[in-house]
Chain A
Amino acid sequence: MRATTADREQSATYTYLICLAAWAIPGAGHLLLGRIHKGVIFLVALTLMFLCGLWLEGRLFPVEIRQPLVALAALADMGIGLAFFIARGAGAGAGRVVAQTYEYGNAFLIVAGLLNMLVVLDAFDITQGRK
């Protein structure tokens, strides 16, 4: 039986919603798709990694188009979803350049965001039936 246009639109909307949820809260996409085990792992591991980055006095970079590397770091930081905006709103992630752990903190924050982007792509693949 052929899928109607309405079915396809509904399916696309569902996929976008899953991806949005997966981006906003790490692991939420997998939890919504019934992959509880993986969802919990992503939620705990990525949230802890992000919190470790803040604890290590890393910086949540601002989007500065004039400085491409800073803008890219900001994009990677934002990969973690709502936590980025909550932390920025709470005044966390100012970054202390002279701290011994500053670069480690940046690495934790950036990699947590990038890993969450991979998790979003994984959730997308699941909705498309590829996994």
Chain B
Amino acid sequence: MRTSHLGLMILFALFVSIVFAALMRDDPKQQLRFGAQLFGAFVVGGIALGWILYFFPV
């Protein structure tokens, strides 16, 4: 099965968001909302950090 860095980062963000949302919110609707926000922040933050590092070559 093919894997990609972006795909694995998204999978990782998904798991962490699900667990944190369940830990920090009690109401299922709030869990869904908070989980989605967290997931979006992880993915967008990861991509943004990747692009920032692009300007700092090794």
Measured CB to CB, the residues of A under 8 A from B are 37-38, 41-42, 45-46, 48-49, 52, 56, 100-101, 104, 107-108, 111-112, 115, 118-119, 122
A45-B12 in contact given A118-B23, A119-B23 (Cβ < 8 Å): no
Contact with A along B2-31 (1 / 0, CB 8 A): 010000100110011011001100001000
Measured CB to CB, the residues of B under 8 A from A are 3, 8, 11-12, 15-16, 18-19, 22-23, 28
Cβ of B19 and Cβ of A119 under 8 Å apart? yes
Kindly state the separation between the CA atoms of A49 and B14 in the bound complex, as whole angstroms.
10
A101-B16 in contact given A42-B22, A56-B8, A119-B23 (Cβ < 8 Å): no
Chain A residue contacts of B19, Cβ below 8 A: 41-42, 45-46, 115, 118-119
Kindly state the separation between the CA atoms of A13 and B11 in the bound complex, as whole angstroms.
38
**Selected contact of A38 from candidates B11, B16, B22, CB within 8 Å:** B22
Chain B residue contacts of A104, Cβ below 8 A: 3, 8, 12
Kindly state the separation between the CA atoms of A115 and B15 in the bound complex, as whole angstroms.
10
Kindly state the separation between the CA atoms of A108 and B11 in the bound complex, as whole angstroms.
10
Kindly state the separation between the CA atoms of A56 and B1 in the bound complex, as whole angstroms.
10
Chain A residue contacts of B16, Cβ below 8 A: 111, 115
